[in-house]
Amino acid sequence: MKKLLKTKVTVRLRKAEFRKEWYIYLESYPVSVPGKKNLQRIREYVNRSVTTVVFDKNRPARTKEDSVSYKPKRDDNGIIVCKSKTDQETMIYADSLRKLRQREFDTVELYSELDKFQAEQKEKSEENFVKYFEGLIKKRHRNSSESIRINWERVIHFLTEFGGEIIPFYKIDIKFCENFKNYLLTAPRGGNKQGTLSKNSAGTYFSIFKAALRQAFVDGYFLSEISAKIKGIADEESRREYLTIEELNKLASTDCDSDVLRRAALFSALTGLRLSDIQKLKWKEISVESGLPKIHFTQQKTKGVEYMPISEQAVELCGERKLPDDLVFEGLPNSAWISRPLKKWIESAGITKNITFHNFRHTFATLQLANGTDIYTVSKMLGHTNVKTTQVYAKVVDESKNKAANAIKLNLNSK
């Protein structure tokens, strides 16, 4: 096949005339066709269609006089985005066909396209998956929260403990993945912590591993999507420890070696903010509108923009107002240094529960639900993207109600 200079193959969609359905086709241009004087635009339908396409409202397509249409949204890999998992897999399949067709146009080698493809696959299969994984962190998560990057880096730690510093792609098959899953379920927690990983932590790490495999398939390191053939680790419902209102009042009246820690912890219990968000909270993000204090900030974990009211007591805990770009809780230790002074403060208040800083967020959610705030409002105030995440707190409240129902017992057999 002669080289067709600068021919580009693109996955495109054509709307069905009477249905909310889009047919998928490959468009190649420019293409030299025997017998044709001018360069041609070739359409090749792939016998697939999708119904849940996401359109980019910032990129108008060619429009008719009485209607406006938009171009489909594409991800960082140029693949058209769909809402349903089935449609997204269809678009990934279409993109794999696009790559094959593009390769046919681009080839300038003397040997056959199959030989070239096999040579490329062999070269990719010998690359180091660990190094590829490290590159993904820099590429995908350079602007992500610290907790997300730490989780990805932890997976690299477990991966190298399991398979070594060099793991060629050709060694990664279903058996390798299943063995790694079993390893995570029995892996030590690391650091100074005793015991093995919790099932939920193992599930989180394995999900990250699967995400890396999925991206490797998109990048052409696997001929099939191996991540779709392996099951994740099911979550195990965990108890969310929280403080009662009586325990919170005990803490509020108990001295703490770190005043900023005390104020920040109680602030979290009154607002539901995470430690990472409280650490980065600036005075310009706290405002008063119509006499009501509010905060306007971007969550470190989800990158969601939040705008919510807070109580007068929460504002009081912030202390004296400073310059707009000053931190509200300046000097608040990070998560690695906060546990020891926090534990000492908790014990000084006579509280025996195992409380971490994040439990103040749990406290906010549980007490809000216990006091009648509806679950959708609580979910929004916590910044959850799915109300199902908030439902775990409702179960804790239900447990308390069940205990309360049986708290009063009568001796009905006595006369």
* Per-residue pLDDT tens over the stretch 20-63: 999 999 999 998 888 888 999 999 999 999 999 999 988 888 76
What does the pLDDT look like over 62-80, one tens digit per residue? 766 667 789 999 999 999 9
Residue 18, pLDDT above cutoff 80: yes
Vertex 365 angle, CA 267 and 203, to 5°: 110
Residue 110, pLDDT above cutoff 60: no
Residue 334: name the closest of 239, 414, 258 by CA.
258
The whole-number average pLDDT for the span 279-284 is 90
| Partner residues linked to 8 by β-bridges | 29
Q: Are 280 and 286 in contact (CB under 8 A)?
A: no
Edge-to-edge strand ranges of the sheet holding 286-289: 286-289, 292-298, 305-309
CATH T-level topology, domain 245-404: hpI Integrase; Chain A (1.10.443)
Q: Letter for the amino acid at 315?
A: V
Q: Letter for the amino acid at 22?
A: W
The domain over range 125-229 is classified in CATH as 2.30.110.10: no
Q: What are phi and psi of 69, to 5 degrees?
A: -125, 165
| Partner residues linked to 25 by β-bridges | 12, 45
Strand, helix or coil for residue 324: coil
Residue 99, pLDDT above cutoff 50: yes
pLDDT score for 1? 45
CATH code 1.10.443.10 region(s) in the chain? 245-404
- In order of 49, 96, 100, the CA distances from 78 in angstroms are 18, 12, 15
CATH code 1.10.150.130 region(s) in the chain? 125-229
pLDDT score for 407? 53
In terms of phi and psi (left: phi > 0; alpha: psi -120 to 50; beta: otherwise), the region of 41 is beta
pLDDT score for 326? 92
The whole-number average pLDDT for the span 204-220 is 93
The whole-number average pLDDT for the span 147-166 is 91
Q: Letter for the amino acid at 89?
A: E
Residue with the two structure tokens 């509200």? 328
Q: How many helices and strands in the chain, by DSSP H and E?
A: 14, 8
Residue % of the chain over a pLDDT of 70: 83
Banded pLDDT at 167 (limits 50, 70, 90):
very high
Residue 269: name the closest of 176, 389, 358 by CA.
358
Q: Are 175 and 163 in contact (CB under 8 A)?
A: no
Pull the structure tokens for residue 30. 């420019």
What does the pLDDT look like over 368-408, one tens digit per residue? 888 888 777 777 777 776 766 666 666 666 555 555 555 55
- Arithmetic mean of pLDDT over the chain: 84
Banded pLDDT at 153 (limits 50, 70, 90):
very high
pLDDT score for 108? 44
